[in-house]
Structure 1
Amino acid sequence: MTRTRSDGRSRAGEPVKQLRLPALRIRQGRGRDLYSFAIDGKLVPQIATVSRIRRDEKTRLHGYQRPEVLNHVAAIRRYIETDDSPLLPNAIVIAFDDRVRFEAGAADPGSPEYVQSGTLVIPVTDGPEHDRPGFIVDGQQRCAAIRDARIEQFPVTISAFITNETADQRSQFILVNSTKALPKGLIHELLPGASGALPVPLRVRQLPATLLERLNFETGSPLHRMIQTPTNPTGHIKDNSVLRMLENSLSDGALYRFRNDEALPYTGQMFTLLCSFWAGVRDVFPDAWNKPPRKSRLMHGAGIISMGYLMDAIAHARQDDEGMVDKDEFAADLKAIADDCCWTEGVWTFSDGVTRRWNDIQNTPRDIQRVTDFLLSRYRAVGR
């Protein structure tokens, strides 16, 4: 049975109640502690909230959770309101801050050394939601369903860890949800601020995701707020198109030389080079710039990715000893082929004899390759 008491204080200094819950402390990995306990699901909103993903006025990223999926919440609610002995066996995952503490109980000589029984002490505050000691990392839809369900109580299992680092919470959120149908855009937006061990496929995308974030949210970027992400839904350019462009260049293009595999990558130089190129593109193709893809194939996946390959080719020819090319140099080479490009009108005539109206270009490997080959051949034909 849950007991409360009022010794202890909140961050604001006022007395708070405490939940004292029987729990197991389980030692995992390199000294990480996991806490397992049961609680009435109706009480979870008193100790934990959902950290919604958003950006503040300075474009700093906060939170990591997507909005509630109402249909999913409603389905779970209908299930737990039935008389068919509903069962939710999967644990809800909560990240607590250091106001939560574990009081170890008497050691059991027969128990493994990695597990310890005791009591988890959790403060319950009456203040705003953001002052709750916990954030729900996984299980927000189940918590919402139990919260709204017409039932008196519904005990659930909680798996919890204690950390004050938002980056740690984001990493755990990504790891817990990496095998579920979590929107890729949400993962990509969270990756730059994640820390700790991540699966190899996510580690590979962390650097391009960091560059995408800078291109999208730094005011000096020519692509400022033009890339569509969960916190910037009105952008015209799909985030995945920009990621593919960046990954290609990091693999064997203009950005490769800045990777510095022995230490931290030179993201500042990468960002500068990218800004120089896309500022040149903006100046040379103003009529095709910052428009929806249906009105400009330059802003389309095929345009973004193929122009990335052209950036690599120009940079290869023009890079100075430090690997840099300025905006005017990029613009000069882009102007030489500008009349051959059909981003908003006209017909492309490709080397394989295929012709396509400008708005018939699709985001397929074949069309991307055709546009790329066309741009590179025209670039080489004018003397580079």
Structure 2
Amino acid sequence: MLTFAAKAADVLRFAAIDRIGRDAHGEISGFQRPQAAAHIREIRDYLEKPNAVLPNPIVVAFIDHVIVEYREDGSAMLSIDVREGPPGLVVDGQQRLSALVDIDRDFEIFISALICPDEAELRRQFVLINNTKPLPKSLIYELLPMVDDLPPRLSRRSTAADLTARLNFEHTALKGYIKQHTCPDGIVADTVMQKIIMESLSNGVMRELVNLPKGADKCVRLISNFFEAVKRVFPEAWYGQEPSSSRLLHGAGIQAMGDVMEVLAQRAGARSTDEFQIGLQCLKGRTAWTEGEWELGGEIRRWNALQNVNRDVALLKHYLVNLVKSDLRKKRRAASAQLREGAVS
């Protein structure tokens, strides 16, 4: 393998992106996936920043039309014949290269060149290079809060990851409960907690809360107060339990309770533990966290049949949220009736 620097525009003079497809006889050709427009746009937006760097090389493979001359000092001269078109094929980095071509910057990148004896070896190298085990998403997310100038998608995840870490390591109701790479003994998946936070930051109570003075502190306190109330209302489903023994600590239960928190915070103005605890009372005796059956809109499920899949999560959310909303309506009607009686008397 040889490594050298080149400008993005020059790379396309000696390397092409060969996208996977099949001919009329069903024979496969090419190997690269289709362009991911959103991913390319995200990379381009980052590269347009003045402090952008791109340390990852573009890997280009050659079968012919190249000559390598090795020198005594350990370096080498690579000569590429482009008279018949680009002889190289991009093996890794097609999205990065596409993004680089779109920006108006004189950007140099590293190229790692593979010289393959035939097409079979080229395809083998493509499979090996692109089949490496990626870092776990949860590890990447845990590191995000320490990184600046992230794309919008990762910036939202970064805020959620930061709040999740604070919930896990500060004095909160969830301290030590969230499973992270830095807290492997946790119970609740960090990505599940991040998901309910991201939804709230996008469309819920935390959307405005986070922008207030000390907004992040307020978000942490809100979530902590809610889950402290959850622990008080459902102690038997929380303490000493795991996701396999209690659906309250399961991904489905945590996500559903995230929606319950939103309803109580937005419709009832709940902020303190006591206020959330009052709002959760309507769920007592109507859940099947650790035993029994759920009656979910005419569908009967055993307590442990609910899984962390979209349909099951949506069913549980709908069931719990409807109970809470119905209870809030009853309380409002009762309060209005009392006001009317007071006015008459």
TM-score by length of 1: 0.51
CA distance in 2: counterparts of 1:299 and 1:192, whole angstroms: 25
CA distance in 2: counterparts of 1:328 and 1:277, whole angstroms: 9
> 2:240 aligned with 1:284, yes or no?
no
Give 3-state SS (helix, strand or coil) of 1:355's partner.
strand
Q: What 5-or-longer segments of structure 2 have no aligned partner?
A: 6-46, 56-91, 93-105, 109-131, 332-345
Match of 2:322?
A: 377
> 2:257 aligned with 1:307, yes or no?
yes
CA distance in 1: counterparts of 2:324 and 2:107, whole angstroms: 64
Q: 2:144 aligns with which of 167, 176, 191?
A: 191
CA distance in 1: counterparts of 2:173 and 2:135, whole angstroms: 30
CA distance in 1: counterparts of 2:289 and 2:316, whole angstroms: 11
Match of 1:259?
A: 210
Q: 2:218 aligns with which of 266, 269, 279?
A: 269
Match of 1:334?
A: 280
Q: Which has the larger radius of gyration?
A: 2
Query: Quick one: structure 1 residues 31 and 380, their matched pair in 2 at CA, closer, same or farther if it must change by over 3 Å?
Result: closer
> 2:165 aligned with 1:213, yes or no?
yes
Between Structure 1 and Structure 2, the one with more helix by share is 2
Written as runs of structure 1 = structure 2, the 5 A alignment for 1:6-45 is: 30=50
Partner letter of residue 204 of structure 1? R
Written as runs of structure 1 = structure 2, the 5 A alignment for 1:48-197 is: 181-195=134-148, 197=149
Residue-by-residue CA offset, 1:166-186 (whole Å, 9 max, x unaligned): xxxxxxxxxxxxx97221111
Residue-by-residue CA offset, 1:150-180 (whole Å, 9 max, x unaligned): xxxxxxxxxxxxxxxxxxxxxxxxxxxxx97
Match of 2:289?
A: 343
CA distance in 1: counterparts of 2:52 and 2:323, whole angstroms: 57
CA distance in 2: counterparts of 1:210 and 1:31, whole angstroms: 24
Written as runs of structure 1 = structure 2, the 5 A alignment for 1:200-239 is: 200-218=152-170, 220-239=171-190
Q: 1:363 aligns with which of 298, 304, 308?
A: 308
Q: Percent identity?
A: 35
Displacement of 1:30 in angstroms is 3.4
* C-alpha contact 1:192 1:207 (8 A) present in aligned 2: yes
CA distance in 2: counterparts of 1:316 and 1:267, whole angstroms: 18
Displacement of 1:249 in angstroms is 1.3
Match of 1:245?
A: 196
Residue-by-residue CA offset, 1:260-287 (whole Å, 9 max, x unaligned): 2xx9871011111111111100111111
Give 3-state SS (helix, strand or coil) of 2:186's partner.
coil
Residue-by-residue CA offset, 1:223-255 (whole Å, 9 max, x unaligned): 101111111111111111111111111121221
* C-alpha contact 1:227 1:239 (8 A) present in aligned 2: yes
* C-alpha contact 1:188 1:209 (8 A) present in aligned 2: yes
* C-alpha contact 2:178 2:188 (8 A) present in aligned 1: yes
Partner letter of residue 268 of structure 1? D
Partner letter of residue 294 of structure 2? W
Residue-by-residue CA offset, 1:30-67 (whole Å, 9 max, x unaligned): 368999xxxxxxxxxxxxxxxxxxxxxxxxxxxxxxxx
* C-alpha contact 2:210 2:218 (8 A) present in aligned 1: no
Give 3-state SS (helix, strand or coil) of 2:312's partner.
helix
* C-alpha contact 1:284 1:335 (8 A) present in aligned 2: yes
Partner letter of residue 319 of structure 2? F
Displacement of 1:381 in angstroms is 2.7
Displacement of 1:348 in angstroms is 0.3
Partner letter of residue 272 of structure 2? D
Q: 1:294 aligns with which of 205, 228, 244?
A: 244
* C-alpha contact 1:254 1:311 (8 A) present in aligned 2: no
Give 3-state SS (helix, strand or coil) of 2:242's partner.
coil
CA distance in 2: counterparts of 1:114 and 1:346, whole angstroms: 62
Partner letter of residue 363 of structure 1? N
Residue-by-residue CA offset, 1:81-134 (whole Å, 9 max, x unaligned): xxxxxxxxx9xxxxxxxxxxxxxxxxxxxxxx999xxxxxxxxxxxxxxxxxxx
CA distance in 1: counterparts of 2:107 and 2:282, whole angstroms: 68
